[in-house]
Amino acid sequence: MRRLLVIGAAFIGLGLGACQPAVGGDDAAFDAKVKQYLMTHPEVLRAALDNMQAKEDAAATAAETAALAKARTLLPTLRSAIERDPRDFVANPDGKVTVTEFYDYRCPHCINIAPKVVALIRGHPEVRFVFKEMPIFGATSEHAARAALAARQQGKDYVGLYDAFMAAHPLTDDEIDRIAAAKGVDIAAMNAPATRKGDDAQLDDIAKLAAKLAIDGTPGFVVGDDIIEGEDYDRLSADIAKAQGGAG
């Protein structure tokens, strides 16, 4: 409430030249006057709050733009980690154009774009697709990521598992193990201490890489020199077409 009164006081003082508390004055009386004014003119408070929100949004957008610009300057030094980490699963490994996705199986936006990702992989062998497990929605998401990494390590159907996990609603821990087992994943091997230690290191490296790329949510895509945040498939398609044009 005090914050609202201060906002109101600023408007009163600047706009009306009145209700300024004197040094050593009665704060309670001043607050009462401000409250009365705001009750009579609530649009003043609404305008102040809207203005404050607009400034905060502009500052956040500027910070995000600056972070992405910095990330793009780092892309050449991070290219190997983005596209050539041998621990990652790669679909269409002989493709000439590389797309990298950072995702979480329980992210609504990742779920929305997943069918298009799978169709892209299966319909365009010229597109090399790198999967980066980035569980940000808690322990169940991490469980799903570990199951997928196990599929990679055990030579199982990674893309099929990705597709099935994205299509399972809700994706519970029991459902993860059921789907993984149905795809041939050895659950006991997946949960072995040595395997988990290696998975921890890989997931930590992916999280650090995403931070350097200013990817703070999922999905995030990297194509060439572009970083795409969110389920913007039109932009992803345009980037792929652009890269194919220069792939020679």
Sign of the torsion formed by the C-alpha atoms of 171, 236, 70 and 91? positive
Is the predicted pLDDT of residue 133 greater than 90, yes or no?
yes
Q: CB-based burial of residue 142 (10 Å sphere; 0-12 exposed, 13-18 middle, 19+ buried)?
A: middle
Is the predicted pLDDT of residue 17 greater than 50, yes or no?
no
Q: Which residue has the higher pLDDT, 244 or 55?
A: 244
Q: Which residue has the higher pLDDT, 12 or 98?
A: 98
Average pLDDT of span 160-182: 98
Task: Give residue-wise pLDDT tens across range 95-129.
Answer: 999 999 999 999 999 999 999 999 999 999 999 99
User: Cα(204)–Cα(210) distance, rounded to whole angstroms?
Assistant: 10
- In this prediction the pTM is 0.75
Least-confidence region, from 51-55, 83-87, 111-115: 51-55
Structure tokens at 85: 């980490």
pLDDT of residue 189: 97
Q: Identify the three-state secondary structure at position 24.
A: coil
User: Cα(41)–Cα(196) distance, rounded to whole angstroms?
Assistant: 61
Q: Identify the three-state secondary structure at position 41.
A: coil
Q: Which residue has the higher pLDDT, 12 or 221?
A: 221
Is the predicted pLDDT of residue 244 greater than 80, yes or no?
yes
Q: Where are the domains of the chain?
A: 2-40, 69-245
SS3 content of the chain, % helix, strand, coil (to 5): 65, 10, 25
The CATH code of domain 69-245 reads 3.40.30.10
What is the average pLDDT score of the chain? 88
